[in-house]
Amino acid sequence: MNREALVGRINKFAGKVKIMEVCGTHTAAVDGFGLRALLPEGVSLVSGPGCPACVTTAEDIDRLVKLSENAQVWTFGDMVGIPGSVSSLAEARARGAEIKIMYSPFELAERAAQNPKKNFLLAAVGFETTVPVYASLLDTLVEKKISNVKIYTSLKTMPEAINAAAEKNAADAFICPGHVCAVTGYGFLERLCKKHKMPFVAAGFEDYHILAAICEIIRQIESNNFCVKNFYPSVVSKNGNETAQKAVDKYFCKTDAVWRGIGVIKNSGYALRKKFFEYNANLVYGKTSAEEKFFAGCRCAEVLMGGIRPNECGLFGGACRPECPKGACMASGEGACSIYYKGTVN
């Protein structure tokens, strides 16, 4: 792959385009490869709401902290520093809560089976990439009749979020999350493209995937002809992984979801189906409140929708730093503010 040729073509672009890369893993990849330094002035990349930890509400964190009083909580590492309204999971751990960081939730099933008298709680956060993994875990819990695991879900889906961003004119074009599309297929991008008439390119996470996607977006902007392209053909198909979709459908149903800083996005979340009430830790709480309190001056909401750059928030780099985050975008390793703070050479 001739990266220089792709960079060369991008740098011939004399216009302006604001491209939103929706997924936190894309934000991390753009930073990791140092790609911003290769782009011309007219091409700006902004991060979107595709960072699951960043869009988990303070209320969800508060509930997980409360649940940790009576159960060992298993979570992805990114979640431990996210601030609730009172504390984070890391702070709860310092006060004696059992918080276990996992790479994969399947070890939880084993541990729970070995310790039937102990209560376990899975903090099930993620997008369509991860929901099938939780469905697969539920297969095990049901099959092995493991009754001491409860699941607190804060699951969100991308199509409605990307739609919300496009409606807010957050960007002129979208680089779409390749691993989400591996599960869902890229078909939903065609509906979005028809509605919003802008480029939507599904991309993988290597540098050449992202550079090629930018090249294609520029080409579409220059020819004023917009469509969906799949630049991750090894993994993404139009219809996605139907086995995974069926597994998700067995255990979960679509629901409205509250995105931290953004508010309610209709039909953008998953909840456990009624049938699986015995695993559902959300039931005791009811719906997440759409009313949120933020640390005074926190502008995560605008960062998440590409409205401002992280360094345009007044708290950035001062009161809000990775070691003392005031909002989720700084607390999460894939958060736009955390990545921006750790630096990009311009």
User: What part of residues 63-82 is at the interface with another protein (CB under 8 A)?
Assistant: 76-78, 80-81
Pairing of strands 149-156, 263-272: antiparallel
Applying the rule CB under 8 A, the residues between 103 and 142 that interact with another protein are 103-106, 125-127, 129-130, 132-133, 136, 139
Minimum distance, C-beta of residue 161 to another protein, in the bound complex (Å): 14
Does position 177 interact with another protein (CB under 8 A)? The reply is yes
Q: Tell me if 342 contacts another protein by CB under 8 A.
A: yes
> What is the phi-psi region of residue 145: left when phi exceeds 0, alpha when psi lies from -120 to 50, beta otherwise?
left
Hey, which residues between 141 and 160 contact another protein (CB under 8 A)?
none
- In one letter, which amino acid is 78? D
Size, binding site for another protein by CB under 8 A: 79
Closest to 43 (Cα-Cα) out of 216, 184, 167, 164: 216
Shortest distance, CB of residue 115 to another protein, whole angstroms?
A: 15
Query: By C-alpha distance, which of 179, 104, 177, 89 is closest to 134?
Result: 104
Q: Strand order of the sheet with strand 228-231?
A: 43-50, 17-23, 173-177, 200-203, 228-231
CA angle 32, 35, 41 (to 5 degrees): 145
Residue window 224-253: x/- pattern of binding to another protein, with contact defined by CB under 8 A: -x---x-xxxxx-x--xx-xx--x------
Closest CB to another protein among residues 103, 277? 103
Is 270 a residue that touches another protein (CB under 8 A)? no
Q: What is the nearest approach in angstroms of another protein to the Cβ of residue 291?
A: 26
3 binds another protein (CB under 8 A): yes
Query: What is the rounded CA–CA span in Å between residue 176 and residue 168?
Result: 17
**Locus of tokens 């086995």:** 243
Minimum CB–partner distance for residue 121 and another protein (Å): 17
Alpha carbon distance 179, 128 (integer Å): 8
Query: Which span (113-121, 149-157, 272-280, 338-346) binds another protein, by CB under 8 A?
Result: 338-346
